[in-house]
């Protein structure tokens, strides 16, 4: 499978699901409580929901630019700064939705094979703490980009669930329902 055909649909589907979770939170809670969710966290030493959302978006942006061999745009640095400062400045749900929309727009503009040029291309992935991972493009997509994306996505889901937002498995996989075999949906 091509990296483009793996990453772009995965990121797109799951970012749309994340957007839906935020919509549900807004529909289920008074506005002030929904906005307060952005500061919620699972554990004291973990980032809050605001950061989890932005880091999920960062993963999509980084993968596209890194696999196309492009320098990161200034807008990505701004998104990273917002994410890292999510505890002090969580922003609003509308701003979080805007960041999701921006990531979806980027993904929507990726050409069909844009991330596939060199699956064995070497990528030096440097973390802010100075650690550097030497990976091929394929290893980066499989072993870093997708796991990191799902880590932040699932943490956002868990925060919302722990804060009483009524989410279930169907909210996590809405993109699968077009494939549902007719007459197989359980009753009730």
pLDDT at 23: 98
pLDDT at 120: 82
Q: Find the CATH number of the domain harbouring 72.
A: 1.20.120.450
Q: Tokens for 62?
A: 């980084």
Query: pTM of the prediction?
Result: 0.93
CA-based nearest residue to 141, from 117, 171, 169: 117
Q: How far apart are the first and last CA of the chain?
A: 37
State the residue range of the domain holding 16.
3-179
pLDDT at 121: 84
pLDDT at 91: 93
The answer to the question of residue 80 being in a domain is: yes
The answer to the question of residue 185 being in a domain is: no
The answer to the question of residue 37 being in a domain is: yes
Q: How many distinct structural domains can be found in the chain?
A: 1
pLDDT at 188: 67
User: Are the beta carbons of 100 and 18 closer than 8 angstroms?
Assistant: yes
The answer to the question of residue 160 being in a domain is: yes
Please, which residues have CB within 8 angstroms of residue 28's CB and are 6 or more apart in sequence?
34, 165, 166
pLDDT at 87: 87
Name residues of the chain where pLDDT drops below 70. Answer: 188
pLDDT digits (tens, 9 = 90+) for 92-139: 999 999 999 999 999 999 999 999 978 788 999 998 899 999 999 999
């Amino acid at each position: 499978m091509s990296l483009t055909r793996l990453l772009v649909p995965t990121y797109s589907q799951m970012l749309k699901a994340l957007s839906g979770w935020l919509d549900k939170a807004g529909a289920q809670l008074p506005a002030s409580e929904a906005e307060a969710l952005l500061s919620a966290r699972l554990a004291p030493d973990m980032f809050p929901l605001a950061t989890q959302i932005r880091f999920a978006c960062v993963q999509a942006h980084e993968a596209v630019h890194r696999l196309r061999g492009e320098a990161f745009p200034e807008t990505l640095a701004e998104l990273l700064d917002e994410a890292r400062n999510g505890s002090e400045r969580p922003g609003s749900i509308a701003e979080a939705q805007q960041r999701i929309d921006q990531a979806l727009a980027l993904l929507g503009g990726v050409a069909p094979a844009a991330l596939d040029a060199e699956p064995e291309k070497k990528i030096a992935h440097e973390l802010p703490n100075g650690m550097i991972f030497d990976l091929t493009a394929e290893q980066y997509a499989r072993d870093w980009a997708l796991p990191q994306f799902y880590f932040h996505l699932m943490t956002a889901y868990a925060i919302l669930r722990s804060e009483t937002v009524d989410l279930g498995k169907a909210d996590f996989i809405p993109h699968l329902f077009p494939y549902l075999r007719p007459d197989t949906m359980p009753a009730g």
